[in-house]
Structure 1
Amino acid sequence: MSSSSLSMDQLTEQFQEQGYLLLRGVLSPEKVKRLNAAIDSIIAEEPEALAYNIYNSVERHEEIASLIDEPTILPLMVQLLGYNIQLHISHLTIRKPNPNDEQTTSQSFINWHQDGPHPQFPRINGITSTYYIKSCYILSDMSQPDRGNTKIVPGSHNRPFQPDHHNVNDKLPGEIQICGEPGDVFLFAQNLWHAGAPNRSSFTRRQLFLGYSPIWVRPIDYRTASDKLLQGASPERKQLLGVIDDNPFKYYVPNDSMVPLKSYFKGDAGKGGYAH
């Protein structure tokens, strides 16, 4: 399902119904090339492995940090989640070809799950609310399935759903694999059931996840943003790095001047997002 030609209202409605969006051609080929060069330099510092999970990846290279406030994604993220938000996680995943499904220390494929803490977020009538949303930048050719693609069950965030198994090799009713070209981006809610497909191809999967949450949720990557990330940051990026006021109470009830992302939001602040 491609969403590139839809209006903001249509994108919002589709996301609320399906729990995900696939946006085509968000990043230019030049931007993809620069990001892959940055990733090459990061991987050169890591031990050789079949698979990599690198958290807080915005700290590792300024090219990745530039995606924190990516202008093609940020207004949509604000509309979906509300304007009192921050960067929650930045997570680089690499899955090399693994036709024999070898287990790796960083797990080359991930079983079916919803994202969240342990114990999990509360469920009411079998349904978990949306607390954060991830954007996934596709940086390698994932136009075909079983290249380590992300598997999802569309709409599974909106109804009581529990897989009768967690084995990614067995197909669930209604599941799809997200297939895309370098530069495509997909967004999905943390409560959407998803998994990582095995990579049985000759292609290496490269996906970069940036997740956003309400600013009153503790981020996964850091306690406080580093001076490196804050240096020269715009007001919008400072907000996304959790810097709005010295008084922590303002994380819950900020003044408008503390949340410059409000300018992106179109609608009623009490109704337009999942969590405020």
Structure 2
Amino acid sequence: MAMESDRKFEEVLEELGASERSLTEEERMSLDERGFVVFHDVLDDGTLCALREKYEELMRKEGASAGMEVHQEQGTRRLSDLVNKGEVFDAVYLHPKVLAAARQIIGRPFQLSSLNARDAIPGEGLQALHADWGRRRADEPYHVCNSIWLIDDFTEANGATRLVPGTHKTGDAPADVLADPSSPHPDEVKLIAPAGAVCVFNAHVWHGGTLNRTDRTRRALHAYYVAREWPQQLNQAEYIRKRTYDRLSPAARYILNV
């Protein structure tokens, strides 16, 4: 059964354009050793414009309810369940290089866990360092992969995400070993890159948002994947709308597990 499942999964990835050829050796090494990789110029200007328009349209429409399907966070604007909220988001969670990177990290069949958005408002956004999974034993595989899609430039001043390279290998939770996970870490690297870039990271890596010290929000999308034996952050089968299901290919439905 497992072999049949693995074969189906590989067929789906091939159909979506994700294969071992999708990543360079350098990109694979970065994922394995540092725990993250940055792909530049993934989104062109037209797609960025469409995503920004849809992003703000949803914020106006949903108001105080924005993000409630998964999570709301003080000091940020959030959106959730984006699979159902615009065809423009399909290119995000189904992108071949991102799927190939998720396969490199998780190493077995996975599914989309959630597709959300987050932006820190001015003067807010600082997060304690955290991982998107609890403690992990040395003999456990990696279970989760996340990606940050830069809808705006990420700068030193506007709350760029910080990551601590190599911490996916420890299995430790930051709160258990750091005196203050909210403080700067001596080894942290900030994700400084222009809009249109995508950072894919092993979600066991310690990471967190920094303080937005500008007068504008800093928008990003998060396509988050989890091994298929674990529950999704948002149950895609429960939330899927008929019009969404009908326009998706069988391969896309497999990634959603619907």
* Structure 2 length-normalised TM: 0.78
The equivalent of 1:14 in structure 2 is: 30
The equivalent of 1:38 in structure 2 is: 54
Structural mapping, 1:104-183, within 5 Å = 108-116=125-133, 120=134, 122-124=135-137, 129-142=141-154, 144-159=155-170, 162=174, 163-168=177-182, 170-183=183-196
The equivalent of 1:213 in structure 2 is: 226
Letter in 1 for 2:47: K
Query: Residues 214 and 40 from structure 1, CA distance in 2 versus in 1: closer, same or farther, beyond 3 angstroms?
Result: same
Aligned residues: 223
* Separation in 1, partners of 2:243, 2:180: 40
Shift of 1:32: 0.7
Secondary structure of the corresponding residue to residue 62 of structure 2? coil
The equivalent of 2:68 in structure 1 is: none
The equivalent of 2:256 in structure 1 is: 241
Letter in 1 for 2:150: I
Shift of 1:177: 1.1
Which ranges in structure 2 are unaligned for 5 or more consecutive residues?
Answer: 1-21, 65-73
- 1:47-77 CA distance string (max 9 Å, x none): 3795212222222222123322123433333
- 1:129-181 CA distance string (max 9 Å, x none): 42110111000121x2131111111111113654523353x311101211111
* Separation in 2, partners of 1:95, 1:210: 17
* Separation in 2, partners of 1:72, 1:13: 15
Structural mapping, 1:80-91, within 5 Å = 80-82=105-107, 84-91=109-116
Check conservation: 2:128, 2:208, Cα contact below 8 A.
yes
Letter in 2 for 1:208: L
* Separation in 2, partners of 1:238, 1:160: 32
* Separation in 2, partners of 1:242, 1:192: 25
Check conservation: 1:68, 1:237, Cα contact below 8 A.
no
Shift of 1:128: 6.8
Shift of 1:233: 1.4
Secondary structure of the corresponding residue to residue 200 of structure 2? strand
- 1:17-42 CA distance string (max 9 Å, x none): 00111111111111111100110101
* Separation in 2, partners of 1:112, 1:216: 26
Letter in 1 for 2:180: H
Structure with the higher helix share, 1 or 2? 2
Shift of 1:235: 2.1
The equivalent of 2:200 in structure 1 is: 187
Letter in 2 for 1:197: T
Query: Residues 195 and 165 from structure 1, CA distance in 2 versus in 1: closer, same or farther, beyond 3 angstroms?
Result: farther
Shift of 1:10: 2.4
Which ranges in structure 1 are unaligned for 5 or more consecutive residues?
Answer: 1-5, 102-107, 244-276
- 1:187-237 CA distance string (max 9 Å, x none): 111110011101012332101000112222111111515133311211210
Calculate the aligned-residue CA RMSD, in Å.
2.4
